[in-house]
Structure 1
Amino acid sequence: MEQPAVKTKQPAGLWLLFMTELWERFSYYAMRSILILYMVYLLQMDKSGASNLYGTFTSLVYLSTLLGGFLADRYVGQKWATIWGGLLIAAGMFVMSAPTVAFLYIAMGLIILGNGFFKPNVVAIVGQLYDKNDARRDGGFTLFYMSVNIGAFFGPLLVGHLAQAGNYKAAFWIAGAGMLFGLATFILGYKKFLPGKGLAPKEKPTFYKDPALWAIALAVPVIALYMKGFHGISYVLFAVLAVAYFAYTKKAKRAKTETAQPLTVQEKQQIAVIGILAFFSIFFWTAFEQAGAALNLFAYEYTDRVISLFGHSWEIPANWLQSLNPLYVVIFAPVFSKLWIELAKRGKEPSTPGKFVVSLWLLSLGFAVMLAGAFALVGNAKIGLFYLAFTYLFQTFAELCISPVGKSMVTKLAPTRFVSLLIGVWYLSNAAANKLAGVYSGYFGRISNVQFFLWLVVVPLAVSGILMLCMKPIKRWMHGVH
């Protein structure tokens, strides 16, 4: 029997979604790269409060994807969720240009909700372009991931000079315009390149009887209380939301199967591994996410950003350094992909928890560079750009050892009927880490730079040591999954 020919050309719809995602990430990272500077130096917020708010905002950006994806699957479909999300994000960028704290809260709320609708549903439409066993699927998602980093690279570069000159209004308008451009690309190209993709389900649950909608209604005061600083109450509501999400998703998963088979011992142990590694990843991302707040402030206050070329000197904006990580990812992601393959051929590829350990070592090494820079600060002196450049380089190496590996680990270990639920666990760990990152960034300027970076060297090393001690039982519970 003749085998069907393997398709090699990517579907045209991928390139439409590539450009849509590129412009959304351009918009988000342009805003993110100047947000802490905007709050501290224009709105005159204290660094601790601004860093806490920044962490709250970025954590809710992650959490909102759970709700946005849920609503799209059950009610509106991915197409309209993407459109609504893009409009909310653009509106948030424009509102943020009004230089008051009140409008800042409103803008953050709009961006959080917009991201929740936009981000998971663009990814879902990408998945709909391929059959389950389509050989082009992995390559397509790799190309799509490149759009994220290209947008993240150019966003800070285009708004940097405006922010440095104090023209934050124009910077946020550029971010909003970028989102609208991406949204227009999606809408104009949808009929030709994505016909029938991302449509609403034909059968929808009764609106007022759906527990998910009550959870979403509860999310509104969670966001408001978080933003206004009532963290004690909001933590309780957050816990209620998390429990409701997992309980409801588990029930829905079981309802889809004819018989709700109990978990085997092996499945329970593999799920435990996901939870354990998700917990350890919180320490990684808490340190890694210092980039948007503490390291951004350090670049502004303590880094000599003057570059001399051809007899001319000029100072690069502090937020431009935020473009280094996505640039490094674009350059080195193929290198790491090939490295794992070559090591696997020789039987020397580290296990998944082994890669987590390596990522923590590299992260610690990156902050050791910053610790050396902190020791070099004497009086009013500033340190060279290369300190941050090398820190971001080591952080990127660390990221490439944990970020794609972690998501892959979840899909390999999770029982088929609980994959979505356990991917939610992974995203929740990211959300928790972003919040903790903001809390720790709040100590920047309150303790010495040496103390600040010393903890970021020591803690990842200590956590890696604990993970190494747990390595044997973790590998045993993985049951042969590498």
Structure 2
Amino acid sequence: MSTGSTPAAPTPLHARTFLGHPLGLYVLFFTEMWERFSYYGMRGLLMLYMINYFRWVPSDASTVYKIYTTLVYVTPILGGFLADRYLGNRMAVIIGATLMAIGHFLMAFEDYPIFLTALGFLIIGNGFFKPNMSTIVGRLYPANDPRRDGAYTIFYMGINLGAFLSPLVCGWLAENTLGSYHSGFTMAGIGMVIGLVTYLLGQPLIKEIVDSVPPAEIANSAPTPTNTALSEAEAAKTPSVLGGLSKIMPTLLFGAGGLMVLTAVILLSNGTLNFFNAVMLALGGISSGIIAWLASKYEGGLRDRILAIVGLGIFVIFFWAAFEQAGNVLNIWADKHTLRYMNEDEKAPTVRQGIPSDPTEKEREQSTVMERLSKMFVLKETKAEVAQNDDKGFLHPLVNPIPTAWFQSINAVLIVLIAPIMAWLWLRLGSKQPSIPMKMAIGLGFMSASTAVMISAARSEGQPYRIELKSSIEQGTLKVGSTGQLMIEKETPVEGQAPIIERHAANQGRITIEDKMLVSVGVLPDIERDRIIAASAPKAFQTKLAELAELSKKLEGKKNETRSVTLDAIPEGFDLGYAGLPNKHVRLNVATKELITEIPLQTKEQVLIGVAAGNPEIRELFSKVMVESTKFRVSPMWLVLAYLLATVGELCLSPIGLSMVNKLAPRQYSTMLMGIWMLTSAFGNFVAGSAGEFWDVTDPVQFFLMISVVVGISSLVLLVTSKLMNRLMHGVS
């Protein structure tokens, strides 16, 4: 097996150390810190970018978020395998860091193809980087070195230092600079480059330790008492605690994996599952097959340890499914439902954007990539003017409102504060401290309590606002359902058949019509207001707009060309000032009734043009509802408390898991098993994203209740089975 480096001498006694640990650990600390800076900086902005910039509905944004956050934990399986067999850990880390840096810089450009390409680079790069960094940390120490747990704690602190700083920096840049979200993404790329340079310069300090137990000794080692941690050699000679069941486990896992793959193929072919969901089901089957293959290579205690990793990993999926709502649903909650002004009243949201001035020909000619990058970090003019004239100080308007991404830093700073307390608690308890499975069950319990806090937050936010209707609200594709809910109708043409008509509840089903009164519960976000107003545009206009969007696809990459459609009639009150698009991009020729575009009309432009064409009374009504409902935004302390409980849960589970895998995994396949452990996060993110797809149509109280109950049940199940899980570890604690 190639390690990609020349190992150090077997003994660590002559290695240079600092605070009792090899200097290489601190190189890995700062490398990982900057990599996490780039990852969490980008992750904290991703959902907000898709919703606020691309104007995607949360369910569609959640689908992309699900695919991205799932695959960044799937690719470590392949990255770990290539590192174990061909590349070596060090070369894999360098390749991964380089690919991720490219991906972050590509995020500075808004074109859809570039956006998707950037995500691809990040996904593949993370696959090479993630498992190998964790493995190298363990290899800085000889087998059974008591410093290894402390090393992972230090390493974990590097992760959280990067996770703390990145949302503060990238989030502030996204809301206060000319580059907006693209400034934040570029800053994430700069952080990744710093991490790569740190790793390259620190190579001479990273000294891996050769395993001092020759493979031949495994067959000649005698077992030790079961109340101590068995070495790999001893575990191989120890009988399985599962008895006869252990012998058939590889076969059962192969069979289960095959069944899952077959089911995925069948459900994909009949349309029950979409492509990505079918792929994930098949991946579950493939993963089961890989685990079966690994288990078949070992017997006795070593096989038990592999099964323990897998068994605990299943429970960990439930934890991450709830925890990873932080970047998804809780990010939306912070942006749309949380009061973010620190020491002043919230300003009313802007209803009419106005028409921006068109860039001059000279400005368009000078709009090169480098010119754009040079202006990206310049402070927005409005922010700069207010800051210079604000009597409360220059920084006051720059943190009002609090950048949404800043809430992503809460978890990281709490880890830094609470981790030492947790470490002291475990030491204080000594031999009485809970076992690894018990700690994980406790972690799941805290995660369930965290989500329960958000149930209370949603109840506090869910206040009703009533306003009298002066005319029928059923305009365009706006409809009223049988239960009084306001619905948006969508018609999908089918060749040779009648169109498919679907109806979706507006604003999570929280807008109803009761006795000529409109009742809106909780905050009406700007994106939901826009969807409703756009749906009120005449059906004929919506058809023409869809036709223009299709024609405009041919404008991709072309300059000084236009596409147009002729409207049957100009909608009453049509005002492109509500779209906020330059005349150069989209304009209306009133004389000829032509709607003209020079740019491809993506979702963002279609929604904004729809708002411009919306029914004037509906536009006025829901703009008022949006403004008035801002008073229902809730205190940020709900999120702080939820993150506090989630952080305690994470500290009971995540760092313990990394160390556990390093202790339990057979050395020959340690990187691959570390990758499989990362796969639990992949499935957790998949479930988290799948749940997020229902945010659009689920009342917030019901949404958080569902997650809290499921995670709570998983905690109880693990609590009951914790003794069996502990026995499977054969002394590892």
* Residue 76 (structure 1) shift: 2.4
CA distance in structure 2 between the partners assigned to 1:415 and 1:90 by the alignment: 33
**Residue 176 (structure 1) aligned with residue 189 (structure 2):** yes
1:130-209 maps to which residues of 2 (within 5 A)?
A: 130-132=141-143, 136-165=147-176, 167-190=180-203, 192-194=204-206
CA distance in structure 1 between the partners assigned to 2:136 and 2:310 by the alignment: 28
> Going by fraction, where is helix more abundant, 1 or 2?
1
1:50-449 maps to which residues of 2 (within 5 A)?
A: 50-132=61-143, 136-165=147-176, 167-190=180-203, 192-194=204-206, 230-235=275-280, 238-239=283-284, 241-242=286-287, 245-246=290-291, 249=294, 254=297, 263-264=299-300, 271-308=306-343, 314-345=400-431, 347=432, 349-377=433-461, 378=463, 379=522, 380=629, 381-411=632-662, 422-449=673-700
1:41-52 maps to which residues of 2 (within 5 A)?
A: 41-52=52-63
CA distance in structure 2 between the partners assigned to 1:88 and 1:148 by the alignment: 19
Q: Is the 8 A contact 1:304 1:384 kept in 2?
A: yes
In structure 2, the CA distance between the partners of 1:421 and 1:124, relative to structure 1 (3 Å rule), is closer
Q: Is the 8 A contact 2:43 2:327 kept in 1?
A: yes
1:21 is matched by which residue type in structure 2?
A: E
* Residue 119 (structure 1) shift: 2.2
How big is each residue's C-alpha offset from its partner over 1:193-230, in whole Å with a ceiling of 9 and x where there is no partner? 348999xxxxxxxxxxxxxxxxxxxxxxxxxx9xxx62
In structure 2, the CA distance between the partners of 1:385 and 1:137, relative to structure 1 (3 Å rule), is same
2:406 is matched by which residue type in structure 1?
A: W
CA distance in structure 2 between the partners assigned to 1:368 and 1:169 by the alignment: 35
* Residue 320 (structure 1) shift: 0.4
SS in 2 for 1:307: coil
In the alignment, which residue of structure 2 is the partner of 1:32? 43
Question: Which deviates more, 155-164 or 270-279?
Answer: 270-279
Question: Which deviates more, 148-157 or 68-77?
Answer: 68-77
Question: Which deviates more, 294-303 or 460-469?
Answer: 460-469
CA distance in structure 1 between the partners assigned to 2:719 and 2:205 by the alignment: 48
CA distance in structure 2 between the partners assigned to 1:425 and 1:182 by the alignment: 25
How big is each residue's C-alpha offset from its partner over 1:214-262, in whole Å with a ceiling of 9 and x where there is no partner? xxxxxxxxxxx9xxx62255236535653564466567xx4xxxxxxx6
Question: Which deviates more, 450-459 or 14-23?
Answer: 14-23
CA distance in structure 1 between the partners assigned to 2:124 and 2:96 by the alignment: 7
How big is each residue's C-alpha offset from its partner over 1:60-104, in whole Å with a ceiling of 9 and x where there is no partner? 111211211221232222332222211110110111222133222
In structure 2, the CA distance between the partners of 1:130 and 1:196, relative to structure 1 (3 Å rule), is closer
* Residue 47 (structure 1) shift: 0.9
Q: Is the 8 A contact 1:52 1:435 kept in 2?
A: no
Q: Is the 8 A contact 2:84 2:672 kept in 1?
A: no
1:353 is matched by which residue type in structure 2?
A: P
Q: Is the 8 A contact 1:250 1:418 kept in 2?
A: no
* Residue 268 (structure 1) shift: 5.3
Q: Computing the radius of gyration over CA atoms, which structure comes out larger, 1 or 2? A: 2
CA distance in structure 2 between the partners assigned to 1:412 and 1:17 by the alignment: 19
In structure 2, the CA distance between the partners of 1:60 and 1:232, relative to structure 1 (3 Å rule), is closer
Q: Is the 8 A contact 2:62 2:692 kept in 1?
A: yes
How big is each residue's C-alpha offset from its partner over 1:128-185, in whole Å with a ceiling of 9 and x where there is no partner? 4334455544433322221111111101100112222471111111111111122122
* Residue 442 (structure 1) shift: 1.5
CA distance in structure 1 between the partners assigned to 2:708 and 2:299 by the alignment: 40
* Residue 366 (structure 1) shift: 1.3
In structure 2, the CA distance between the partners of 1:67 and 1:297, relative to structure 1 (3 Å rule), is same
In the alignment, which residue of structure 1 is the partner of 2:536? none
Q: Is the 8 A contact 2:131 2:678 kept in 1?
A: no
CA distance in structure 2 between the partners assigned to 1:306 and 1:416 by the alignment: 52
In structure 2, the CA distance between the partners of 1:39 and 1:130, relative to structure 1 (3 Å rule), is same
In structure 2, the CA distance between the partners of 1:10 and 1:160, relative to structure 1 (3 Å rule), is same
How big is each residue's C-alpha offset from its partner over 1:27-58, in whole Å with a ceiling of 9 and x where there is no partner? 11100100011111112222112112212211
2:115 is matched by which residue type in structure 1?
A: L
In structure 2, the CA distance between the partners of 1:195 and 1:371, relative to structure 1 (3 Å rule), is closer
Consecutive unaligned residues of structure 2, counting only runs of 5 or more, are: 1-12, 211-267, 269-273, 345-390, 464-521, 523-628
* Residue 464 (structure 1) shift: 2.3
* Residue 394 (structure 1) shift: 0.4
2:110 is matched by which residue type in structure 1?
A: P
SS in 1 for 2:343: strand
CA distance in structure 1 between the partners assigned to 2:436 and 2:693 by the alignment: 32
SS in 2 for 1:306: coil
In structure 2, the CA distance between the partners of 1:87 and 1:458, relative to structure 1 (3 Å rule), is same
2:280 is matched by which residue type in structure 1?
A: Y
In structure 2, the CA distance between the partners of 1:69 and 1:324, relative to structure 1 (3 Å rule), is same
CA distance in structure 1 between the partners assigned to 2:711 and 2:288 by the alignment: 29
* Residue 325 (structure 1) shift: 0.6
How big is each residue's C-alpha offset from its partner over 1:276-329, in whole Å with a ceiling of 9 and x where there is no partner? 322122111101111010000000000001112995562111110000111111
SS in 1 for 2:342: strand
CA distance in structure 2 between the partners assigned to 1:189 and 1:277 by the alignment: 35
Question: Which deviates more, 304-313 or 387-396?
Answer: 304-313
Q: How many aligned residue pairs are there? A: 437
CA distance in structure 2 between the partners assigned to 1:410 and 1:123 by the alignment: 10
Q: What's the TM-score, normalizing by structure 1?
A: 0.82
CA distance in structure 1 between the partners assigned to 2:144 and 2:727 by the alignment: 30
* Residue 476 (structure 1) shift: 5.7
In structure 2, the CA distance between the partners of 1:133 and 1:197, relative to structure 1 (3 Å rule), is closer
In structure 2, the CA distance between the partners of 1:397 and 1:53, relative to structure 1 (3 Å rule), is same
CA distance in structure 1 between the partners assigned to 2:59 and 2:168 by the alignment: 26
* Residue 331 (structure 1) shift: 1.1
In the alignment, which residue of structure 2 is the partner of 1:213? none
Q: Is the 8 A contact 1:249 1:421 kept in 2?
A: no
> Going by fraction, where is strand more abundant, 1 or 2?
2
Q: Is the 8 A contact 2:76 2:675 kept in 1?
A: no
Q: Is the 8 A contact 1:125 1:197 kept in 2?
A: no
CA distance in structure 2 between the partners assigned to 1:158 and 1:277 by the alignment: 36
Consecutive unaligned residues of structure 1, counting only runs of 5 or more, are: 199-224, 255-261
* Residue 411 (structure 1) shift: 4.9
Query: Identity of paired residues, percent?
Result: 41
CA distance in structure 2 between the partners assigned to 1:20 and 1:411 by the alignment: 20
CA distance in structure 1 between the partners assigned to 2:307 and 2:295 by the alignment: 16
CA distance in structure 2 between the partners assigned to 1:134 and 1:465 by the alignment: 33
2:276 is matched by which residue type in structure 1?
A: H
In structure 2, the CA distance between the partners of 1:141 and 1:152, relative to structure 1 (3 Å rule), is same
CA distance in structure 2 between the partners assigned to 1:301 and 1:243 by the alignment: 40
How big is each residue's C-alpha offset from its partner over 1:402-422, in whole Å with a ceiling of 9 and x where there is no partner? 112334444555667765555
